[in-house]
Amino acid sequence: MAVAWLLFSGLVAVLGPYHTPAAISLLLAIGVFQIVASRVASSRSTGGQVASFAITLGLCFLLIYYTGGIGSSYYWMLLVPVITAAPSFSLLGTLAATAVACGGYLSFLAFINWEKQYIPPEEVSELIFRVLTVALLGYLANQLAEASRSEARKAQAAADQLAQANLQLMEAEAAVRRTERLAAIGQLSAGLAHELRNPLGTIKASAEMLTRSVASEGAIAKEMAGYISTEVDRANKLVTRFLDFARPLAVQAQRGDITQTIDRAVEQLEHHKPAGVSIYRNYSPDVAPFFFDPDLMERVFYNLLVNAAQASPPQSSITIKTRQQDDTVEIAIIDRGAGIDPKHLESIFNPFFTTKSQGVGLGLAIVSRIVDEHGGRITVESETGAGSIFRVLLPVAGQTSAAVSGGER
């Protein structure tokens, strides 16, 4: 663009009918200013565009003035401010700019000594032709620019839709991968849990018999038997959690108020949350009752709230927000804890993945399964040192027939 403007200005200065220093200087000034204006960011604003138009028009006005006024062969240079402004102005703005440029040109009539000079009729027609040419080309430039802007908006809209579609596809692929992992590990867990239950029962019974049969002086043996029984109970609880994870979920959907389910989960948490952690509820009144399994969803919210409470420092808060967007209800649980390491975000819903020393890694995996069975999805946003946001997205229309029929049973 810079080369084009310099080449244009140079050729007009060399090949034009006027070779005076003033004409050449003004032609070069017009070219240089167009280069500078195209590179200055402020010229892209409305005020900058108006100022650029005014300066360019002023330079062209001076050029016409020094090269013969109303009869100057450089009248067409008025097209430079009009055409360069047209792509940035609206149609009304372009018409106004054209009127100003044509008015500036016609103002040279005031410099004519009408007592000694006059304009023949054929030159009046030429004058009208010049003004109409500037006006027509300004209008056409604006329409061409508007068509280009319209196509650019369409292209941007298509690009935004494609980006959104790609994002949804990536989320769907991640959900499919997670579901496949859950299914495979669920089958393994079910088989392993059943195989462990029998020997654990035998060990438990043996420990109890040992406790009863050991003489009173065998305190150490009794203590060891007690340890065995306690650890068997702990292992049994772990096996039960494995079975809960592996067992097919029977979604018993019924129409209900999701906020009541959240409130029940909050009431459970009140007895276990760390001291000083507050819970704020921000429920949207726009969320109408819809079909879901209240018991399973209460389990979802309780697990998420427990995780949020454990991650929250003392004297902090947890916020629960609900809102409805189109056919989806969103429940967001927000904590101000330490956040999740970015390298773990992809794995937190995988079974047996945990960063807690006492954790098993099944809580979020079960939460994900329950949400999936409802036809929804769960997402997480986290920033290290700033906290996490877990979003549960549930459909309120077009729910799975299994869920609806479960409610009818």
Provide the pLDDT confidence category of residue 318 given band limits of 50, 70 and 90: very high
Q: How far apart are CA 89 and CA 101, in angstroms?
A: 15
Does 56 share its domain with 195? no
Residue 191 sits in a domain of what CATH number?
A: 1.10.287.130
Does 232 share its domain with 269? no
**In which domain, by residue range, is 21 found?**
2-118
Phi and psi for 335 in degrees, rounded to 5?
Answer: -120, 165
Does 34 share its domain with 59? yes
Q: Is the pLDDT of residue 43 over 60?
A: no
- Which DSSP string do the residues of 331-399 spell out, in sequence order? EEEEE-SS---GGGTTTTTSTT---STT--S-HHHHHHHHHHHTT-EEEEEEETTTEEEEEEEEESSS-
**109, 82 in Cβ contact below 8 A?**
no
- Residue 402's pLDDT is what? 41
> Which residue type is seen at 13?
A
HSE-up (13 A, CA, CB side) for residue 41: 0
Residues forming a β-bridge with 380: 390
The residue with greater pLDDT, 270 or 254, is: 254
Residues forming a β-bridge with 290: 256
- Residue 281's pLDDT is what? 93
The residue with greater pLDDT, 173 or 298, is: 298
Looking at every residue in the chain, the average pLDDT score rounds to 80
The answer to which of 4-18, 73-87, 95-109 has the lowest mean pLDDT is 4-18
Does 236 share its domain with 281? no
- Residue 400's pLDDT is what? 44
Does 219 share its domain with 278? no
Does 69 share its domain with 31? yes
Displacement of CA 93 from its chain's centroid (Å): 34
Q: Select, from the ranges 14-23, 131-140, 207-216, 384-393, the one with the highest average predicted confidence (pLDDT).
A: 384-393
Cβ neighbors of 291 (< 8 A, separation 6 or more) are 253, 254, 255, 256, 396, 399, 403, 404, 407
Does 364 share its domain with 390? yes
Q: How far apart are CA 26 and CA 14, in angstroms?
A: 13
Q: Tell me the mean pLDDT in the region 67-80.
A: 79
Q: How far apart are CA 350 and CA 123, in angstroms?
A: 86
- Residue 365's pLDDT is what? 83
Provide the pLDDT confidence category of residue 18 given band limits of 50, 70 and 90: low
Q: How far apart are CA 80 and CA 66, in angstroms?
A: 17
- Residue 257's pLDDT is what? 94
Residue 154 lies in a domain: no
- Which DSSP string do the residues of 388-401 spell out, in sequence order? EEEEEEEESSS--H
Q: Name the residue among 330, 303, 308 with its Cα closest to residue 319.
A: 308
Show which of 72, 101, 118 is a domain's final residue: 118
Displacement of CA 283 from its chain's centroid (Å): 23
Provide the pLDDT confidence category of residue 263 given band limits of 50, 70 and 90: very high
- Residue 182's pLDDT is what? 64
- Please return the burial class of 151, using the count of CB atoms within 10 Å of its CB with bins 0-12, 13-18 and 19+: exposed
β-pairing, 254-256 vs 278-282, is unpaired
Q: How far apart are CA 406 and CA 409, in angstroms?
A: 5
Does 238 share its domain with 265? no
- Residue 115's pLDDT is what? 72
The residue with greater pLDDT, 22 or 5, is: 22
Q: Is the pLDDT of residue 185 over 70?
A: no
Residue 114 lies in a domain: yes
Residue 135 lies in a domain: no
